[in-house]
């Protein structure tokens, strides 16, 4: 039976972990959504119904996460030589659209009812208990997904966990709205709370949308990691002037490209050994490295066409 490489083995364990978290999200959110929507209608609480719809959307987002995890587990092929991990980022971007659309629909429908002056009954007390259960369940689910997402460097799962955290705030807001509704005997406060919940949902969606742009545009915001690469090269005997360094992220894994200069009188084999040592040390220094590509040039080499990548000078200028 063939033995998986360390990279493939780690990727397989990562996928299984994300799949388990996704199924947990589907089951928990499904139960919470059904409870809140039913209780919301029975108790005539628009805010609790809105909270229930948000949980129903979480079932959808967890399902999308599950599908994306299956896609990212596929090995590289001729059409996708870097693998399929970018599907995770695309799924995360898709989640932001789904979440925003749901929030907008809730805001429009609830605001419309208020503007039309539709008579609203005072919500039943059952809505309070449903909201308390929701807060407890969402808190446990958010903690679990954050842990799994951070352990596996999964932006998709972390985005899902942030949505769970937002759901806690939503449920707390719903609870506060219900309390004030009972205190002041103003059913309209329940609708106002529902609108605020909807605006919060749209805000979360927008933040998730922005956060995925960095990876899709081949960016990398951690300047300190470039410095760590340059420090590694400085410690490799025979390697000099690291430049044109680039880090791209694919599904939580790093692909590192850089150029180094070596003595032009060295043999190809000797220069190759220096490049291999550079690669080994970069892998040891940076977490979750999928691949390292080291291009070797003779000392003093100048190529006017080189326009991309990060150098020590560019990094110092950026900091200064």
Q: Summarize pLDDT for 180-230 with one digit per residue, the tens.
A: 777 777 767 777 777 887 887 788 788 888 878 877 877 777 778 899 999
Residue 4 DSSP class: P
252 with 85: CB under 8 angstroms?
Answer: yes
- Tokens representing 317? 């200028």
- Whose tokens are 């959504």? That residue is 33
- Whose tokens are 């005072």? That residue is 122
269 with 296: CB under 8 angstroms?
Answer: no
pTM exceeding the 0.95 threshold for the entire prediction: no
- The model's confidence at residue 2, banded by pLDDT at 50, 70 and 90, is very low
- CA nearest to 128, candidates 64, 177, 85, 79: 177
User: Domain 223-319 belongs to what architecture?
Assistant: 2-Layer Sandwich (3.30)
Which H or E run contains 1?
Answer: none
- Whose tokens are 């388990």? That residue is 20
> Where in the chain are the domains?
6-216, 223-319
Q: Identify the bridge partners of residue 248 per DSSP, sorted by sequence position.
A: 255
Q: How far is 91 from 69, CA to CA, in rounded Å?
A: 9
Q: Summarize pLDDT for 82-130 with one digit per residue, the tens.
A: 788 788 788 878 878 877 887 787 788 778 777 876 656 666 777 888 8
Domain 6-216 has CATH 1.20.1510.10: yes
Q: How many CB atoms lie within 10 A of CB 193?
A: 26
Mean pLDDT, the chain, integer: 81
C-alpha dihedral, 103 to 106 to 107 to 111, nearest 10°? 180
Q: How many CB atoms lie within 10 A of CB 132?
A: 12
Q: How far is 122 from 131, CA to CA, in rounded Å?
A: 16
What are the φ/ψ torsions at residue 84 (nearest 5 degrees)? -115, 15
- CA nearest to 134, candidates 160, 99, 167, 179: 167
Q: How far is 153 from 107, CA to CA, in rounded Å?
A: 34
Instruction: Encode 149-176: b = buried (16+ Cβ within 10 Å), e = exposed.
Output: beebbbbbbbbbbbbbbbbbebbebbbe
The sign of the torsion formed by the CA atoms of 40, 43, 46, 51 equals negative
- CA nearest to 288, candidates 89, 153, 146: 153
- Whose tokens are 């108790």? That residue is 43
pLDDT at 1 over 50: no
pLDDT at 268 over 80: yes
- CA nearest to 28, candidates 53, 5, 55: 55
């Amino acid at each position: 039976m063939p033995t998986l490489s360390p990279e493939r083995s780690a990727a397989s364990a990562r996928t299984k972990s994300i799949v388990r978290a996704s199924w947990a999200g589907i089951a928990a959110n499904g139960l919470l959504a059904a409870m809140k929507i039913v209780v919301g209608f029975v108790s005539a609480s628009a805010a609790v119904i809105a909270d229930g719809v948000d949980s129903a959307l979480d079932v959808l987002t967890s399902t999308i996460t599950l599908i994306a995890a299956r896609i990212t587990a596929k090995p590289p092929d001729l059409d996708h030589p870097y693998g399929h991990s970018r599907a995770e980022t695309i799924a995360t971007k898709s989640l932001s659209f789904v979440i925003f659309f749901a929030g907008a629909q809730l805001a429009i429908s609830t605001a419309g009812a208020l503007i039309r002056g539709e008579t609203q009954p005072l919500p039943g007390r059952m809505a309070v208990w449903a909201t308390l259960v929701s807060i407890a369940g969402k808190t446990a689910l958010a903690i679990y997904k954050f842990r799994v997402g951070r352990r596996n460097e999964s932006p998709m799962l972390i985005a899902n966990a942030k949505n769970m955290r937002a759901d806690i705030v939503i449920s707390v807001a719903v609870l506060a709205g219900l309390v004030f509704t009972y205190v002041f005997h103003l059913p309209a406060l329940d609708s106002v709370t529902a609108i605020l919940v909807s605006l919060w949902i749209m805000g979360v969606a927008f933040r998730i949308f922005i956060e995925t742009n960095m990876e899709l545009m081949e960016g990398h915001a951690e300047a300190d990691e470039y410095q760590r690469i340059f420090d590694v090269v400085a410690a490799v005997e025979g390697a000099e002037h690291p430049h044109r360094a680039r880090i791209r992220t694919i599904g939580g894994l790093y692909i590192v490209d850089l150029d180094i200069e070596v003595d032009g009188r060295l043999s190809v084999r000797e220069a190759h050994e220096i490049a291999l040592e550079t690669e080994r040390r970069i892998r040891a220094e940076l977490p979750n490295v999928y691949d390292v590509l080291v291009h070797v040039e003779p000392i003093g080499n100048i190529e006017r066409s080189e326009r991309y990548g990060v150098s020590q000078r560019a990094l110092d200028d950026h900091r200064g």
